[in-house]
C-alpha cells in the first residue's frame, strides 16, 4: 500500500500542498468517485440478484445467437475460472484494493481518475459482496457470473467495471495525468 501511495502521491497527515481553493474541488472529485462506485455496485448487485432469481438452473438465454448468451455460473476462482482453491486470497485482494482506493481518494483532484477509481471500487465491492455472502460460506463464496460471449470467459458487471477502470488508469498514466490533477511529460 505504501508503494501505491508513493506513486499516486497521497499526502501525509497535515500536508497542505494543495491551495485552499482545491479543497472543494477535491471533495467534488471524491463525490464523483463515490457516485460512480455506488452506481457500478448497485448495477452489479441488481443484475446478480436477477440472474440468481430468474436464470440460475435454467438454460442460457441467447442474446445475439451463439455470440452472446446470459448464463448463470458460480465462479469460486478468478478470471477464466483459475484459482478455485484460492477464494480466500481473492477476497483479501479485493479488500486490499478497496482500502487502497479509499486511502488514495484523499489526494484526488482529477475527474477522470475519480471515474476510474470509482469503477474499480464499485467492481471490487460487487465481487467482494459475493465472496462474503454467497455459498459455500463467508469469505469463500462463489461470484455470480452471467455474461457469456462465445469463446471467452463468463463475467459480470463488476468484472466489466474493474476492467474499464483499469484500462482508464493505464490511459491516464500514458497521458501523464496524475490523480492529483497534475500533468507531467516524461
| 130 part of the active site | no
145 is catalytic: yes
Among the options 15, 145, 178, 186, which is catalytic?
Answer: 145
| Alpha carbon distances (Å) from 121 to 2, 24, 47, 176, 179 | 18, 22, 17, 22, 15
Task: Walk across the sheet containing 143-149 and list its strands.
Answer: 61-64, 68-75, 143-149
> In terms of Cα–Cα distance, which of 44, 18, 9, 58 is closest to 156?
44
Place of cell 442460457: 60
One of 44, 66, 130, 159 is an active-site residue; which one? 159
How far apart (Å, rounded) are the C-alpha atoms in residues 34 and 9? 20
Contact call for residues 49 and 128 (beta carbons, < 8 A): no
- What b/e string do you get for 167-183 counting C-beta neighbours within 10 Å, with b at 16 or more? ebbeebeeeebbbbbee
Q: Give the span between the Cα atoms of 57 and 76, in whole angstroms.
A: 17
Cell numbers linked to 71: 448464463
Active site residues: 145, 159
Amino acid at each position: 500500500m505504501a508503494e501505491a501511495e508513493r506513486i499516486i502521491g497521497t499526502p501525509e497527515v497535515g500536508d497542505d500542498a494543495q491551495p485552499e481553493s482545491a479543497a472543494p474541488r477535491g471533495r467534488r472529485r471524491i463525490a464523483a468517485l463515490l457516485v460512480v462506485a455506488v452506481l457500478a455496485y448497485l448495477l452489479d448487485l441488481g443484475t446478480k440478484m436477477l440472474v440468481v432469481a430468474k436464470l440460475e438452473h435454467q438454460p442460457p438465454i441467447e442474446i445475439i445467437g451463439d455470440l452472446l448468451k446470459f448464463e448463470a455460473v458460480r465462479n469460486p476462482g478468478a478470471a477464466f475460472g483459475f484459482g478455485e482453491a484460492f477464494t480466500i486470497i481473492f477476497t483479501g485482494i479485493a479488500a486490499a484494493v478497496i482500502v487502497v482506493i479509499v486511502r488514495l481518494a484523499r489526494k484526488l483532484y482529477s475527474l477522470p481518475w475519480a471515474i476510474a477509481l470509482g469503477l474499480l471500487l464499485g467492481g471490487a465491492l460487487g465481487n467482494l459482496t459475493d465472496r462474503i455472502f454467497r455459498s459455500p460460506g463467508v469469505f469463500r463464496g462463489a461470484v455470480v457470473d452471467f455474461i457469456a460471449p462465445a469463446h471467452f470467459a463468463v463475467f459480470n458487471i463488476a468484472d466489466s467495471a474493474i476492467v474499464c477502470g483499469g484500462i482508464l488508469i493505464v490511459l491516464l498514466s500514458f497521458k501523464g495525468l496524475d490523480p492529483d490533477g497534475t500533468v507531467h511529460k516524461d
